[in-house]
Structure 1
Amino acid sequence: MKHTTKMKHLVSLLFAAGVFSTNASAADAANYINIQPRSVTNNSASVSGDYSVAIGVNTVSEGLSALAIGSSANAKGGSSIAIGANAVSTDTSSTAFGEQAKANGYHATSLGAKSSASAIGATAVGTGALSTGGSATAVGVNANASATGATALGLGSAATNGNAIALGTKANASAGAAVAVGPNAKASGISSVATGANADAAGLGSVASGMSSNAAGGASVALGRGASATEDLSVALGALSTTEAAVGTTEATVNGVTYSGFAGTSPVATVSVGSEGSERTITNVAAGRITADSTDAINGSQLYQVASRSNGNALAINNLNNRMDDMEDDLRAGIAGATALAFLQRPNEAGKSLVSAAVGGFRDQQALAIGYARNSDNNKWSIKAGVGVNTRKDVNWGGSVGYQW
């Protein structure tokens, strides 16, 4: 057969080089080839599968078309390959390459000293790499992919749950569909993503991106070095930004005036762009809608317009206050003037005249009045007139005529 012919050509080349000799205890079957180092005569290689090859001390090739090369290498599965001292491939089309490498799953591949691929379609590449999940892939020294569809790439990386991905030295994705990328990155929440050195995404569906970022809240997002989103649904944007618990605001009191009727009074989370003592401004914000139920952000230009109108109102109110103050002073001065006029004297005898002066005051205003009065000769008629001036420089006057009987 063609396959047998190729095997024999390979053996002929090895013999021609003077490296191998035969000890054909099983060579009576035409399709078996038994080869061992010429320096070893007592520890025979063992071949029991059609078209299989075993090369090395205590080497065993049991599967159909299997290949075992190396001391104590063992290729048990059909079309399996075990190359390296104590390498073992036990299932169909499995491949183990390296000292103590093990490929124990169907179509499993293990490359590297002490590497192990022990599930269907599993791949382990690197010294000590371990792939135990179906179709899992572990690449790197001591990398570990231990669940179905898991992928671990990097020194000491670990993907230990279904479809988890860990990329980077000691990256760890321990939850289903979690992704950890970067040295020591850790994704322990289901469907979480951690990218960056020491990033940690622990919340369900959380995202931590940036060195030492932390997303502990469910569905939380932390973006930036050292950013931390610890509450569910919260967002921390920028280096060292931190979130706090959301607080609803139903009313506010400013200068004794209470405002209420706000929209959006029951927030479920917060978005933070800084931390206490390290606040940031937000620029390039579009003008938000201004309605009774709007929850849009308001930018500086909108506040400027409100402030401008408010300033105009304040000026008008201030002018009105000044006018009212003037009116109050005028009123007080008028009362003072009336008081002064009221205290002007009149004569007591018939046919007499009297000139008098009087003062009056009310609050902080004062007035001076001067008057003239006369009684008729028969004392039945009397007249009285006066004029006054107050501290507001206003003049008031009065006069009267009386008849008695």
Structure 2
Amino acid sequence: MKRSLIHCALLAGLVAGTAQAQVQVGNGADASELGATAVGDLAGAKGGGNTALGYSADADGGPTPTGHCIGATAAGAYASAQGCNTSSFGAFSRATVGNSTAAGAYAEATASDAAAFGQYAKATALSTLAVGGHALAAEIGGTAVGPGSQANAENAAAFGLSAKANAKGCVALGTGTTCEQENTVAVGNRRLTQVALGQANNDAVVVSQLRTAVETLGAGATVVTGVIVAPNYQLISGKHYSTVAGAIYDLDGRVHQLEQNPGSGGGGTGPQGPAGPQGPAGQDGKDGGSSTTVAGANIEVTDNGDGTQTVALKDTIELSEQGSVQVAKAIHNSDGFTVQGGPSVTRSGINAGNQRVTGVAAGAIAPGSTDAINGGQLWDYQREQDDRWNLTDRRFRQLGKRVSGVCAMAQANAQMATSTSAIHGENRNRLAVGVGGCSGQAAISIGYTRDVTTPRGSPSAFSIGVSRSGQDTAVGAAWAIGW
């Protein structure tokens, strides 16, 4: 019974607005221009083609030189859509500037091309996106995805529960992650897994590549569980060094000492004695080999026999804790491997040097996953959201056609009833056909009425009718008696 009363109220509102091709249903509902729809107490649709559904919902496309702009849709109690092509869905939701969308209770999209999805979500600047309860995108081009996430700087992006992007162009990935420096990516002290080997100068270096570079220093240098193990250079003198620089300094000191004290092996020259008789010729001796002096575990000094020495560095070098090796802008010491102006791997972590991380494989999107996501996955997510809104748009268009069809059926019923009532006299049987149209939809209605006299002589009448539009059919019957 309740549903029938609702249908009758809707039909009455449709019949009332048939002449102007408008729909008004509810106390104080106002559909002020052609094609406007207002359903609900105090609902208002200002401008042709605008739709307001729900108690005190307000759809106002805004003024134009020729009237009000179309395309505003407000659905939900106190929902408000202000501007061309604006949409608000949910109680107290607000879309206040052209091409903005707000979906969810208390959601707000208050700038052009802004979109907010979720309870209390807010997109307040040009071309911003906020997805999730209490998500906030507050600066131009900002993106906040996840409950409580915030994009508080221009072109910044935050993805994850309570993630925050507070610097221009920075990206915060993961629950509770915050990025504070411009054009950086923060992952909240999480590991990036399944990363391909870096090839270009601006590619990320993986641990296997770092381990290979560190192990070229020899003397046990390696990387274990993300920590660089320093080398241990042990010299023959008994000294130990954990850096290449320490071992080289030791070598340099020893070589310098050899240069200052070559060690001729003889004393001073005495006075010349008298010439003695020539002795017998002796046999030729064997060629003497060069002597070798070992200066520590890392250096070999070879005496060439002609007053020169050859100094060679061993393949394996052991340095002390204070030593380091520098090649151009690359420095390796006990703290790690650092490239000035580029990526660094130290005990405190990995710094990408404000460069993009490329070649990132698709991360697992599942509860508890700690994988990084890449741009392709984000693009797929955006496309999925676009498909869902396209489906919503198609459903609204279909609803509009059905409402127009009901409007046409009401017009056909009115014409059929009018023509039937116009027949008077002794005609006991009356058959009427009516047609109607509304917003591009057509309908036909057929009705039959028969006058009947009761056994007591009281006049009475019986009627039945059926109406049909493109998608809906309605049937009704009535009996009346007078005395």
Give me the TM-score of the superposition, normalised by structure 2. Answer: 0.43
Kindly tell me: are residues 284 and 127 of structure 1, through their superposed partners in 2, closer, same or farther at Cα, counting changes over 3 Å? same
Q: Which of 280, 289, 311 does residue 199 from structure 2 map onto? A: 289
In structure 1, the partner of 2:48 is: 120
- Identify if the C-alpha distance between structure 1 residues 229 and 337 changes in structure 2 by more than 3 Å, giving closer, same or farther: same
- Decide whether aligned partners of structure 1 residues 205 and 326 sit closer, same or farther in structure 2, where only a CA change above 3 A counts: closer
Match of residue 302 from structure 1: 209
Once superposed, what is the RMSD of the aligned Cα atoms?
Answer: 3.7
Match of 1:109 in 2: 37
* Aligned AA (1:98): G
User: Following TM superposition, by how much is the alpha carbon of 1:335 offset from its aligned partner in structure 2, in angstroms?
Assistant: 5.9
1:270 to 172, 175, 184: 184
How far apart are the structure 1 equivalents of 2:155 and 2:260?
Answer: 70
* Distance (whole Å) between structure 1 residues aligned to residue 129 and residue 256 of structure 2: 72
| Deviation per residue, 1:101-155 (Å, 9 max, x gap) | 1111211111111111111111111111111112211111100111111111101
Matching residue within 61, 85, 97 for 1:161: 97
Larger radius of gyration: 1
Which residue, 10, 18, 24 being the options, matches 1:96?
24
Give the structure 1 partner of residue 120 of structure 2.
184
**Aligned positions of 1:5-404 closer than 5 A:** 75=16, 79-80=18-19, 92-133=20-61, 134-246=70-182, 269-274=183-188, 279-289=189-199, 294-311=201-218, 315=233
Letter in structure 1 aligned against 2:194: N
Q: C-alpha separation between the residues in 2 aligned to 1:135 and 1:323?
A: 82
Write the deviation string for residues 185-235 of structure 1: whole angstroms up to 9, x where unpaired: 001122211000110112222210011111122222110111111222221
Per-residue deviation, 1:322? 7.1
CA shift, 1:165, in A, is 0.9
Alpha-carbon distance, 1:236 to partner: 1.1
- Cα gap change, 1:319/1:237 in structure 2, threshold over 3 Å: closer, same or farther? closer
Q: Matched residues, percent identical?
A: 31
Shift of 1:326: 7.1
Q: Which amino acid aligns with 2:25?
A: F
Q: Deviations over 1:244-269 (max 9, x none)?
A: 234xxxxxxxxxxxxxxxxxxxxxx1
Counterpart in the other structure of 2:334: none
Q: Which runs of 5+ in 2 are unaligned?
A: 1-7, 62-69, 222-230, 236-243, 276-483
Tell me how far apart the structure 2 counterparts of residues 198 and 241 of structure 1 sit (CA, whole Å).
16
Letter in 2 for 1:228: K
CA deviations over 1:31-79 (Å, ceiling 9, x no partner): xxxxxxxxxxxxxxxxxxxxxxxx99xxxxxxxxx9669xxxx94x5x1
Rounded to whole Å, the distance in 1 between the matches of 2:168 and 2:251 is 57
Q: Are the equivalent residues in 1 in contact too, given 2:96–2:111 (CA < 8 A)?
A: yes
Larger relative contact order (CA 8 Å, sep ≥ 6) = 2
Q: Is the 8 A contact 2:13 2:25 kept in 1?
A: no
User: What is the Cα deviation at residue 282 of structure 1?
Assistant: 2.0
User: What is the alpha-carbon distance in structure 2 between the residues aligned to residue 224 and residue 164 of structure 1?
Assistant: 23
TM normalised by structure 1 equals 0.51
1:194 partner amino acid: A
